[in-house]
Each structure stands twice: as structure tokens, then as C-alpha cells.
Amino acid sequence: MQNVSISEGDIALVHALEVNPRASWSLLGEVLGVTPMTVARRWAKLFDQGAAWIAVLPGPVAWHSFAMIGINCASPRIDEVAATIAQDPLAITVEVTAGRYDLLVAVLAPDMATLSSYITDRLNRIQYITSTTSAIATEVFSEGSQWRIGAISRGQEHDLAPSSTGIRPTTPDVSDVDRELINALSHDGRMSFGDLALRIDRNASTVMRRLDRLLKHGLVTLRCEIASSLSGWPLHASLQFRVSPQHLGEVGRELAKWPEVRMCVALAAERNLMVSIWIRNASELTLFEMKVLREFPHVIVVDRTLDLRVMKRTGHMLDEAGRSIGVVPIDLWSPVQPRQAP
């Protein structure tokens, strides 16, 4: 893939779309102080180059059974195993890591039975995996859709924020038509209602109504992503902590606010708190760890890893620079099994 450069205006657009992933070109242009045509042109360039994209992933009410799985493999086959797992629609993110594990995989399932089957059956059918360690999430304090790149003001964020009445308490079923819509949107999260209607052979008003329902009921979340190599935070790292139960919620909620933190989740494991962070260089991992221990001296750091490569993030296959080169839509309701990589 060609070299990609990114401007301050591009970064501001990414931040704006982090706030409101399907904001109109006119609203984006008004808030960012440029014409709608300029905004549309900038986004088309970023999207076509794989530098930024709108990912589609399950919303908060669908996060029933989420697990972080550490995997070790026969050393010559790490990339092959990672590529196979990345084809699974339940694997949200697949990272090749330097540390305790060869791979760190985030898996989301519709229920505990499916998650159990994934861990005990689906993974066991993949060649060259030598061991797995699973930790099931008990609470998600933050995830990547709440992270901001830090390029626009609070006032601009306020002007962009979509109107919201909160997540509705009832949870409707996800139909086959909904799955078709989610699949189509996964390839381009800003696809127009008209184009989506053509893709799934429905009229535009039906598409608009169904997407609105999926979003308002918390079944689907849209997230603007950027290639980390272009974000200013090119390295990814994870830390696992041991926190006493009485302090777990307090520490998790506070760490979730820190600007480096992309994800913060409580786990049903001895290492009961995990954070994923984006950093500028490897030395910042130590600085982050020191800051945590300074703020929370009762916390014990149990493990830390640096990513060598992120092969898949929120359903998008990535190249070595973290740019999107393909899509494996996240589908909690799919019976599809992982395909062995060629």
C-alpha cells in the first residue's frame, strides 16, 4: 500500500467522526470551519487509503459475554494462527504480542454458551495453538468508541454530539435483515441510506428505520478508527493488574478517563483489571505504569505486553502500518466457524 500522509485537518475530521460517526457533511463542515465538499473529499481520501474508517460493532446491550484470550502457538506459525482467528466473526481484535502470550484476542459472543464453545471447541480446532488462557469480563469501564484523538475543542464536540434519549430498556431480536444491514455497513460505516438500501434490497426508509432501532436499543455501535501509525500513538500495549474487590470499580472508572486508555475492563481472574493503551514509544509504557502505581499504590502490576502487530481491529483486517485492508464483519449471531488460513 502507498505511503499515506495526514494533515491537521484530517485529524480534526477523525475526532469529529469519533463524536458522531454519521454526522452530515454540512454539520461537519460547519463545526470544522470548512465546506461540506472539503470534508467529504478529505474523508474519501482517508477511507480509500485505509487510513481511517467507521467500524460497526455490537453495542453495550450486546456485550453479554466478552473475553480476553491469551494464546501461545508453535513459533513459526504465529502469523498463520492469527490470520485464521481473524477470519472468525466473534474475534473483534487480534494482536500479535511480545510478552507472556504470542497472541491476545478479544472475543465477543451473544451468550456464555457460545463463548464457552468458542474457547473449548472452535479454538481447539485451529492447528498450531499450544495453549490458551481465557479471562471473562465482568464489567467494561471503557472501550474504543469513547476514546478521542484530541484535535477539536469541547465546544465543537458539543455541537457535533448526536441527540440521544439514552438506550431503550427493551432489547429486540436481530433479524436476518438486520444482519444484512450490519454486514453492509461494516464495509463502509458512512454509506448512504440509499446505497445501503441497494446493497440489501430494501427501500431507504426501511434501512433508516432499522439502523435507528439498532442504535437506539444499543445493539450496534459505530466507531471511527484511525491507523495507529498516523494517530500520533503508534504503539499499543496492555497491562494487567491485581486490585482488591473493594477498589476495583473505583480504579477501573478512573483509569477509563485517562487519555492513553483505549479499553479498561474488569476480569474474572487473578489479574482482575486490564487496560489497553496507545503510546508514542515503548518508554511511555513504564511511565504509564509508574503513574498508575503513584495514583493507586494498592494496585499490583502483574503483566504487561507490547503489540508487535495488530492483525485485526473492530472487524477490520490491518496491514503492518495499521491501515484497513479488508473487513470480516463482527457477527454475534453467526454460526460460522473459523477458516484455516491458506
Cα distance between residue 151 and residue 312, in whole Å:
25
Amino acid identity, position 101: Y
Q: What is the pLDDT of residues 156-205, one digit of tens each?
A: 999 999 876 565 656 668 888 999 999 999 999 999 999 999 999 999 99
Q: What is the DSSP string of 258-270?
A: STTEEEEEEESSS
Q: What class is the 168-217 domain? A: mainly alpha
DSSP-H helix ranges across the chain: 8-19, 25-32, 36-48, 78-86, 112-117, 154-160, 176-187, 193-200, 204-216, 228-231, 245-255, 283-295
CB 328, CB 89: distance < 8 Å:
yes
Q: Which residue has the cell 474523508?
A: 43
Q: What is the pLDDT of residue 171?
A: 65
pLDDT in tens, 123-158: 999 999 999 999 999 999 999 999 999 999 999 999
Report pTM. Answer: 0.92
Residue 79, classified by CB atoms within 10 Å of its CB into exposed (0-12), middle (13-18) or buried (19+), is middle
3-state SS, one letter per residue, for 129-196: EEEEEEEEEEEEEECHHHCCCCCCCHHHHHHHCCCCCCCCCCCCCCCHHHHHHHHHHHHCCCCCHHHH
End-to-end CA distance of the chain: 22
* pLDDT score, position 334: 66
CA atoms within 13 A on the CB side of 254: 10
- Output the CA torsion sign for 224, 172, 331, 137: positive
pLDDT of res. 338 = 47
pLDDT of residue 174: 84
Tell me how crowded residue 241 is: count the other CB atoms within 10 A of its CB: 24
Q: From residue 1, give the alpha-carbon distance in Å to each of 130, 163, 330.
A: 33, 38, 25
Minimal CA–CA distance to 53: which of 277, 230, 258?
Answer: 230
pLDDT along the chain (342 residues), means of 10: 84 98 98 98 97 93 88 95 96 96 95 92 94 96 94 97 68 84 96 95 94 90 96 96 98 97 97 97 96 97 96 97 96 60 48
* pLDDT at res. 165: 55
Question: 58 and 264 in contact (C-beta within 8 Å)?
Answer: no
What SS3 state is found at 275? Answer: strand
Largest CA distance in the chain: 57
What pLDDT was estimated at residue 28?
Answer: 98
| pLDDT at res. 4 | 78
C-alpha of 26 from chain center:
27
Alpha-carbon gap, residue 108 to 334, rounded angstroms: 12
**CA-closest candidate to residue 19, choices 199, 146, 193:** 146
Confidence at residue 60, expressed as pLDDT on a 0 to 100 scale = 79
